[in-house]
Amino acid sequence: MTGRAALFDVDGTLADTNHLHVTCWWEALRQAGHRVPMHAVHRAVGLPGEDLTAHLLGPPPESDGAGAGEYERIGAAHDVLYATWFDRLPALDGAAGLLRRLAADGFRVVLVTSASGAELDALRRAIDADDAITACTSSDDVEHGKPHPEPVREGLRLAGAEPGRAVFVGDTVWDMRAGTRAGVCCVGLLCGGIPRADLLEAGARAVYDGPWDLLARLDTSPFARMAPD
């Protein structure tokens, strides 16, 4: 029998960073001459950088490549702006406790995130639960980002688990769609700011307020329905 996996998105799920991303993307877009409402940016958070830009502005022109270059510059501007917050990224209440409880219960905890490099390092410092984390998969490890199932499948590979032996926890519709397409039970969290109905429609089997709420109700959650190895 394969192991049990607890797969976690990070931004908006374990770290209270979604609205920082919204502000940084909004400003990067503004600097490039694009006026995009913040609520639209918020709904796009969770997509990989260039996919997020294309979701908001449309696909880049293919004729001369100028659009793709602009999208790369917007992404770079976002990264510079967001990096100013690296030393003060806030973990969500209960995040470290939840990961440690699941690890103690025998789950292999894997972070499934689009963050990489210094950003991922800053997030892990904020969460402060490396002792409970088995592995991480980032945008550097996959060709396609969420909502494509590849990031979740890579998380399963790192955990040594089959889809039916895993739960994926996230806060966006992109997370829920990626997990569902990978055949994994999905749990949604409201702390990223996406409505409950949207998470359920995208495939969440259960929805909780945040990691603190999931931790408090872990014994009746989808994690509890998975028999030990």
What pLDDT does 64 receive?
A: 47
Q: Do residues 66 and 169 share a domain?
A: no
> Final residue of a domain: which of 84, 114, 140?
84
* For residue 63, pLDDT beyond 60: no
pLDDT digits (tens, 9 = 90+) for 113-138: 999 899 999 999 999 999 999 999 99
Q: What is the pLDDT of residue 226?
A: 87
Give residue 40's pLDDT band: very low, low, confident or very high (50, 70, 90): very high
Last residue of a domain, one of 27, 60, 84: 84
Q: In whole angstroms, what is the distance from residue 121 CA to residue 37 CA?
A: 30
Give yes or no: residues 127 and 213 share one domain.
Answer: yes
Residues 121 and 172 reside in one and the same domain: yes
Average pLDDT for the chain = 94
Domain of residue 43, CATH code: 1.10.150
Residue 66's pLDDT band (boundaries 50, 70, 90)?
low
Is 125 in the same domain as 179?
yes
What's the confidence (pLDDT) of residue 1? 43
- Report residue 79's pLDDT band, with 50, 70 and 90 as the boundaries: very high
Are both 97 and 137 inside the same structural domain?
A: yes
How many domains is the chain partitioned into structurally?
2
What pLDDT digit, counting tens, does each position of 151-174 carry? 999 999 999 999 999 999 999 999
Q: Could you report the per-residue pLDDT of 177-225, keeping only the tens digit for each? A: 999 999 999 999 999 999 999 999 999 999 999 999 999 999 999 999 9
At 229 the pLDDT is: 74
DSSP per residue, the chain = -PPEEEEE--BTTTBS-HHHHHHHHHHHHHHTT----HHHHHHHBTB-HHHHHHHHH-PPPSSSSHHHHHHHHHHHHHHHHHHTTGGGPPBPTTHHHHHHHHHHTTEEEEEE-S--HHHHHHHHHHH--GGGEEEEE-GGG-SS-TTSSHHHHHHHHHHT--GGGEEEEESSHHHHHHHHHTT-EEEEEGGGS--HHHHHHTTEEEEESSHHHHHHTGGGSGGGGSPP-
Residue 61 binned pLDDT confidence (cut-offs 50, 70, 90): low
Q: What is the mean pLDDT of residues 91-101?
A: 98
Q: Are residues 200 and 132 in the same domain?
A: yes
- 228 pLDDT exceeds 90? no
Same domain, 138 and 94: yes
51 and 148 in a common domain: no
Polymer length of the chain: 229
Closest CA to 52 of 153, 174, 216: 174
* Domain interval for residue 54: 18-84
